[in-house]
Amino acid sequence: LPWNDTAQLDYLQTEVRAAMIELIIGQARRFDLIRFDAAMTLAKRHFQRLWYPLPGGGAGIPSRERFALSAEQFEGAFPEEFWRQVVQAVEKQAPQTLLVAEAFWMLEGFFVRDLGMHRVYNSAFMHMLRDGDNRRYREILRDILATDSRILQRFVNFMNNPDEATAVEQFGKGDKYFAVAVLLATLPGLPLFGHGQVEGLREKYGMEFLRPMLDEQADAGFFRHHQSQIFPLLRRRRLFAGAEHFRLFDLETPKGICEDVFAFCNRTDGESALVLVNNCERPVHGMIRPGGKDSPTPAQALGLPRDCRWLTALEHHRGRRIWLDGRQLEHQGLAIGLGGYDYRILLELRPDPEGPPTHAAEVIPGGWVALPEHPEP
């Protein structure tokens, strides 16, 4: 539907930008959070492309071709990034307010790193993990970790938004959905769940409708699986939200690095976790190794003491206590097998000098020993 109730303002005019910043400051003094819709359209590169295109360069909007400006003309009228000015003004006059930007078109890092935006929607999470473009998303994570890991803390990750199909339409209700939902709950940043997502609703939420168009009921089984597998992880967001101790690993297989597996750890305040997710339908087996030449080993990244004979952890999705061979983890890595769209999450990792009890029920290939235990509440 056309935005008949939305005014078109000419941000090329200095007075317009100043008036909008003043308006934003007024709202920031009244509210703790402001969300900027379609903020990427006011990034200078896209504002020029869409409203004042370069002469002869092909207009993003054909009707704007007659408003073409040279790069020098545009720079003279719009010398600073508007959003950087907004962030700086809010920091001075309303520092208690959190600014969240909807910034697609692969501008997430730019909005955080260069413009200083407090939080930014990370559309790459939804699109790439939905499409199985795991190699590219792992590459994005590696690039950010190589420059400034704190950028990850400012991402708002999501599996759907009001402009896209619902999460169950994109990811289904099976193993693929929950593999990605585990990543949503355990990667640094802010997890955002869409309207009706955990209930399994399929209708796309539209603000132009007064009531739902479909007569849907919540999927009780789907919701219960969230209760047992996802909600307990969300209760531990203090452990996962930060990026200071976030480390990404590789899964080495006989055929090389498996780019479909997301293996990472995080820790805070003496608590640590290791997360392994296979975002692919093919089973995989291999060894968890450092994610780069100078990267720490899994044992080092988890902050574990050297030459520890045994480590114990809570295996989240099975609700059982396990033991790991600490020396193998330190010197060789962690042997792991994952089914299609499978995941393993090890919580409460800590040294255990005594090792597994003699009545441990199961020895798992790769130096794991398991003991049945009730799931966490």
* Co-location of 22 and 119 in the same domain: yes
Q: Is residue 9 one of the residues assigned to a domain? A: no
Give the end of a domain, one of 188, 218, 240. 240
CB 375 within 8 A of CB 319: yes
Q: Which domain holds residue 99?
A: 14-240
Q: Return the pLDDT at 227.
A: 96
The average pLDDT across 314-341 equals: 85
The pLDDT value given to residue 23: 96
What is the per-residue pLDDT across 102-135, written as a single tens digit (0 to 9) for each?
Answer: 988 888 889 998 999 999 999 899 999 999 999 9
Q: Please indicate, yes or no, whether residues 270 and 181 belong to a single structural domain of this protein.
A: no
Residues 220 and 257 in one domain: no
In a domain, 160, yes or no: yes
Residues 116 and 253 in one domain: no
Q: SS in 3 state form for the chain?
A: CCCCCCCCCCCCCHHHHHHHHHHHHHHHCCCCEEEECCHHHHCHHHHHHHHCCCCCCCCCCHHHHHHCCCHHHHHHHCCCCHHHHHHHHHHHHCCCCEEEECCCCCCHHHHHHCCCCCEEEEHHHHHHHHCCCHHHHHHHHHHHHHHCCHHHHCEEEECCCCCCCCHHHHHCCCHHHHHHHHHHHHCCCEEECCCCCCCCCCCCCCCCCCCCCCCCCCCHHHHHHHHHHHHHHHCCHHHHCCCCCCEEEEEEECCEECCCEEEEEEEECCEEEEEEEECCCCCEEEEEEECCCCCCCHHHHCCCCCCCCEEEEEECCCCEEEEEEHHHHHHCCEEEEECCCCEEEEEEEEECCCCCCCCCCEEECCCEEEECCCCCC
Among 263-272, 274-283, 363-372, the range scoring the smallest mean pLDDT is: 363-372
Q: Which of 156, 82, 158 is nearest to 119 (CA)?
A: 156
Residue 206 within a domain: yes
Residue 3 placed within a domain = no
pLDDT at 292: 67
- For position 25, which CATH number holds? 3.20.20.80
Task: Give 7-62 pLDDT, tens digit per residue.
Answer: 788 999 999 999 999 999 999 999 999 999 889 999 999 999 889 998 876 656 77
- Judgement on whether residues 193 and 303 belong to the same structural domain of the protein: no
Task: For residue 6, tell me if it sits in a domain.
Answer: no
Same domain, 225 and 271: no
Domain boundary among the residues 189, 206, 240 is at 240
State mean pLDDT over 222-244.
96
In a domain? residue 377: no
The predicted structure's pLDDT at residue 214: 85
Q: At 376, is the pLDDT very low, low, confident or very high (cuts 50, 70, 90)?
A: very low
pLDDT digits (tens, 9 = 90+) for 182-227: 999 999 999 999 989 999 999 887 667 778 888 889 999 999 999 9
Same domain, residue pair 168 and 209: yes
Q: Are residues 193 and 258 in the same domain?
A: no
Both 211 and 274 in one domain: the answer is: no
pLDDT for 339: 92
Does some domain include residue 297?
yes
Look at residues 180, 207, 240 and tell me which one is the last residue of a structural domain: 240
Query: What is the number of domains present in the chain?
Result: 2
Report pLDDT for 238: 94
Say whether both 168 and 192 belong to one domain: yes
| Residue 368 pLDDT | 52
Classify residue 376: in a domain, yes or no: no
351: CATH: 2.60.40.1180
The answer on 286 and 219 residing in a single domain is no
Instruction: Give the tens place of pLDDT for each residue, 150-188.
Output: 999 999 999 998 888 999 999 999 999 999 999 999 999
Give the model's pLDDT for residue 369.
53
Q: How many Cβ atoms are within 10 Å of 69's Cβ, its own excluded?
A: 18
pLDDT for 366 equals: 47
pLDDT at 60: 67
pLDDT score recorded for residue 3: 63
Q: List pLDDT tens digits, range 328-374.
A: 888 878 888 899 999 999 999 888 888 777 655 554 544 455 554 44
pLDDT (0 to 100) of residue 295:
78
Judgement on whether residues 165 and 229 belong to the same structural domain of the protein: yes
